[in-house]
Chain A
Amino acid sequence: MKTCAVRKLVFFILFALALPLPAQQPEPILPDPKLTPGDTFDVTADDICTPGYSKKVRNVPQSVKEAVYREYGISAHPPHAFEIDHLIPLELGGSNSLKNLWPQSYLTLPWNARVKDRLEARLHALVCAGKLDLKVAQQAIASDWIRAYKTYVGPEPKALGRPSEDERAETAPAVTPAAPGQVWVNTRSGKYWRPGSRYYGKTKQGKFMSEQEAKAAGFQPAHGTGE
């Protein structure tokens, strides 16, 4: 009798182990609203829409970046796993205060740092085109950037995660635009580059957008032609 009970128990354990686990998607990492409510400089839409505006903001010191990781309890992380992101981006008037910085993952799917970059470019373009109030844009991205993405960009993105080493090796150039024909905007210099030009997709800070959006946001073609 006892042997039979043990056999049943072993069977149930093995059965439970054999059950397929539900597919686990990495949870989207959202900023902690207590640590990162968002913060802005006292700037206007005219200020942020002036080409080269972001270049005027001091770079975040390494000591501050380390403080952000500590706040979020991240003591070690693989290289290129996170960026210290401005919740309200510089191009929307966000500041370098600790209240506006958080470690955003490049690796989570589908929501990650690269996806948020698209939202930031979209909101900046809308503000600079006079279609969206700056304060509304700041509030939208600070309160829930994923919801803001769905509102201002579109449905959940499919493949904007960080490509694997193999994928990157197979892709030339390494950085590809989200849509064909987009220009690469160097958000620090305020200049944009056309496909095939020397710095297309290669500057340290920048993003892809349509040429129309780039012009509406006040960006200008590099060297007068974008070539």
Chain B
Amino acid sequence: MQLNRKLTHLLKGRTIQAESGDQGSVVLTFADGSTLKLKVAGQASVTAGGKVKAAHESGAEFRLDLETGSAVQVRLADPGSSVALRDRNGAVEYLG
């Protein structure tokens, strides 16, 4: 899976504090108050927590590698339209 440099640059070092979501979406909240919303195909359950090391994306496959060695991996609902990162104030940091 290919490294998503732009998103890696933004997320590296951020700590996942909470995870929520429902059918079709996953929301990761980071310790700095920023949120990463992923539109996913089907239901996805994310249990991993920790600091983000890198973001990978290839087609519909999306993965966040964590410093702990674990990973968050989901299948995106619509590649190119399913990843949104906003800062604690709700301002857009990344879309893709």
Contact = CB atoms under 8 A, between A and B. Distances in A.
Contact of A41 (B2, B4, B91, B95): B95
A64 interface: yes
B84 interface: yes
B7 A58 contact: yes
A60 B80 CA distance: 8
19 contacts: A39-B81, A50-B91, A56-B94, A56-B95, A57-B95, A57-B96, A58-B7, A58-B83, A58-B94, A64-B79, A64-B80, A95-B81, A96-B80, A96-B96, A97-B79, A97-B80, A97-B81, A98-B79, A100-B81
Contacts, number: 54
A41 B4 CA distance: 18
B79 A58 contact: no
Interface string A51-70: 00100111111001000000
Interface of B: 2, 4, 6-7, 37, 78-81, 83-84, 91-96
A215 interface: no
B78 A58 contact: no
Interface of A: 39-43, 47, 50, 53, 56-61, 64, 95-101
B4 A96 contact: no
Nearest to A67: B59
Given A56-B93, A56-B94, A39 B78 contact: yes
Given A57-B96, A64-B79, 6 more contacts: A40-B81, A57-B94, A58-B4, A61-B2, A96-B80, A99-B78
A95 B91 contact: no
Nearest to B83: A58
B84 A41 contact: yes
A95 B78 CA distance: 10
Contacts of B83: 58
A101 B37 CA distance: 22
B80 A98 contact: yes
A96 B84 CA distance: 12
A58 B92 contact: no
A43 B81 contact: no
B36 to A, nearest CB: 13
Given A41-B81, A41-B84, A64-B80, A95 B92 contact: no
A205 to B, nearest CB: 15
Closest 8 CB pairs of A and B: A58-B96, A96-B80, A95-B81, A97-B81, A97-B80, A57-B95, A41-B95, A97-B78
B86 to A, nearest CB: 9
A96 B6 contact: no
Identify which of B2, B37, B84 gathers the most chain A CB atoms within 10 Å of its CB.
B84
A43 B91 CA distance: 10
Contacts of B2: 61
Contacts of A97: 78-81
